[in-house]
Amino acid sequence: MTKESTLKPLEDGDVFVGATLLNNPDDDHAGDGRIIQFDSDLNEKGVLWTENTTHLVGGLKFSPDQTLWAFDSQNFTVIQIDPGGNQLPEVDFGQRSFSNVNFSNDGNVYLGEHLVGDESTNKALDALKTALPFVPGTEKYGDGNIYKFTTDGELLATFETETHGGMPGFLGVTASTLSPDNSKIIYISELGNRIFQFDLVNQQQMNDLVTYEPESGDMVIAICYAPNEDLYSINANFKVGFSLCQHDPESGDVTSKIDLPGPGWAALTLSKDGELAYIGNFFSGVVGKFNIASGEMITSAETNVARSLAGIAEY
Is residue 123 helix, strand or coil?
A: coil
pLDDT value, residue 191: 97
Query: How do residues 263-293 score in pLDDT, each as one tens digit?
Result: 999 999 999 999 999 999 999 999 999 999 9
The answer as to whether 306 is a domain residue is yes
* Statement: residue 150 has pLDDT above 90: yes
Q: What is the model's pLDDT at position 1?
A: 59
pTM summary value: 0.98
**pLDDT value of residue 2:** 67
pLDDT at 3: 87
pLDDT at 256: 96
Query: Is position 219 within any domain?
Result: yes
As a whole number, the mean pLDDT across the chain is 97
92 located within any domain: yes
Q: What is the phi-psi region of residue 162: left when phi exceeds 0, alpha when psi lies from -120 to 50, beta otherwise?
A: beta
Given a contact cutoff of 8 angstroms between Cβ atoms, the answer to whether 300 and 279 are in contact is no
Residue 9 lies in a domain: no
Q: What is the CATH number of the domain that holds 173?
A: 2.130.10.10
Residue 182 lies in a domain: yes
- Between 95 and 1, where is the model more confident? 95
Q: What is the pLDDT of residue 26?
A: 96
Whether residue 4 lies inside any domain: the answer is no
Kindly tell me if the per-residue pLDDT of 130 is higher than 80.
Answer: yes
Count the domains in the chain. Answer: 1
pLDDT digits (tens, 9 = 90+) for 26-65: 999 999 999 999 999 999 999 999 999 999 999 999 999 9
Domain, as residue range, for 189: 15-314
Residue 5 falls within a domain, yes or no? no
Is the predicted pLDDT of residue 220 greater than 70, yes or no?
yes
- Rounded Cα gap, residues 148 and 158, in angstroms: 6
Which tens digits make up the pLDDT trace of 160-201? Answer: 999 999 999 999 999 999 999 999 999 999 999 999 999 999
Q: Is the pLDDT of residue 112 over 70?
A: yes
pLDDT single digits (tens) 81-100: 999 999 999 999 999 999 99
Residue 10 counted as domain residue: no
Q: 28-35 long-range CB contacts below 8 Å, 24 or more apart?
A: 28/129, 28/130, 28/307, 29/55, 29/56, 29/74, 29/129, 29/130, 30/54, 30/55, 30/74, 30/130, 31/55, 31/308, 32/3, 33/57, 33/72, 33/79, 35/7, 35/60, 35/68, 35/70, 35/81
